[in-house]
Amino acid sequence: MSWVNAVVQGILLGGLYALFACGLSLMFGVMKVVNLAHGDFAVLAAYLALVIVSGFEVPILWSVLLVAPLFGLVGYVVQRFIIQRSLDVSPLTTLLVTFGLSIVIQNALLEAASANSESLQSGILASGSFQVAGLHVGYLSVLIFVTATAVIVGLQLFLSRTSLGRQLRAASDDQETASSVGVNVRHVFGVAAGIAFGTVALAGVAFGMYSSFDPAAGPQRLIFAFEAVVIGGMGSLWGTLLGGIVLGLAQVLGSQIDPGFGVLAGHIVFLAVLAFRPSGLIPQVAQAAQ
């Protein structure tokens, strides 16, 4: 029974990783930008939610309504005024710039908060659970999993069915041609980053409810997002969902074998995918969003 339980918990944990990774996947898929500050922005979102919750005494889920749109705006501005400028120089420059952002955010958080770890208290949501077929399933992990799936389905529909989504894909395929048919490439890249940052905010708050965080927690989390993206296949959103689930499963099943083996098991699966199927479980073609 405990193995069945581990599988369920692993899949649900995968939802959190997928939610966290889809912003990274979108930024890479559309702009070929690897955002090294991705994890730090998620931590920043959690701190922001903490300030809102304690300052206005509103429930945690309400804070998301403020943090996610705010992050959308931040994403647009960061893309247009920081990342785009480095993208114009060379793709490698974006690595340096986002790495710089990562360090700035960490130190700013250390200055503004402290090195102590914090967590977002969500009351019944975090501790409550229901029983299905003898398994205890937490409300929070189900909520996060459903959110992750909804976000990824929504993103896919956005990319394949809307005018702006098509402009994004066009700009991703060939910026110059997109520009030649009237697409404002810088604007649509800003929008893509805004959406990605919105999902980062969701994931940051989700992570904050799931476990504690401190100013330096970003890079450690970034690794999980990377692994989910690479396991699934670079630039494919369905792949990212699958990659998150595979990573979550590996970690939970690993810790079932030995409590200390969980995270390592995830890394091993990641390495195995890199070695035997470097283009990921669902290769890039899926991005074509039929």
Partner 1 sequence: MTEAPLLELDGVSKRFGSIVVADSLSLSLGRADAVGIVGPNGAGKTSLFSLISGDLRPNAGDVRLDGRSITRLDPASRCRLGIARTYQVPRSFEHMTVFENVLVAVHRGAGLRGREAFGLAAQVLDETGLADTANERAGRLGLQQRKRLELARALGARPRLVLLDEVAAGLTDPEVEGLVQIVAGVRARGVAVVWVEHVVRALFGVVERLICLAAGKMIGDGEPRAVLASDAVRDVFLGTDYGEVAPG
Nearest to 276 by CA among 231, 225, 223: 231
> In terms of CB distance, is 187 or 267 closer to partner 1?
187
Considering beta carbons, is residue 125 or 192 the nearer one to partner 1? 192
- The DSSP string of 182-251 is T--HHHHHHHHHHHHHHHHHHHHHHHHHHS-B-TT-HHHHHHHHHHHHHHH-TT-HHHHHHHHHHHHHHH
Shortest Å, Cβ 280 to partner 1: 16
Least distance (Å) between residue 231 CB and partner 1: 21
Alpha carbon 117 to its chain centroid, in Å, reads 21
Q: Which is nearer to partner 1, 147 or 236 (CB)?
A: 236
CB of 243 to partner 1, least distance (A): 20
Distance CA 92, CA 134 (A): 51
For residues 167 and 188, the answer to whether their CB atoms sit within 8 Å is yes
CB 257 → partner 1: shortest distance, Å? Answer: 41
Nearer to partner 1, 9 or 287 (CB): 287
Q: Nearest distance from residue 177's CB to partner 1, in Å?
A: 5
- Distance of CA 121 to CAs 48, 49, 68, 125, Å? 14, 11, 18, 9
Nearer to partner 1, 111 or 176 (CB): 176
Q: Which residues bind partner 1 (CB under 8 A)?
A: 163, 166-167, 169-170, 172-174, 176-185, 285, 287-289
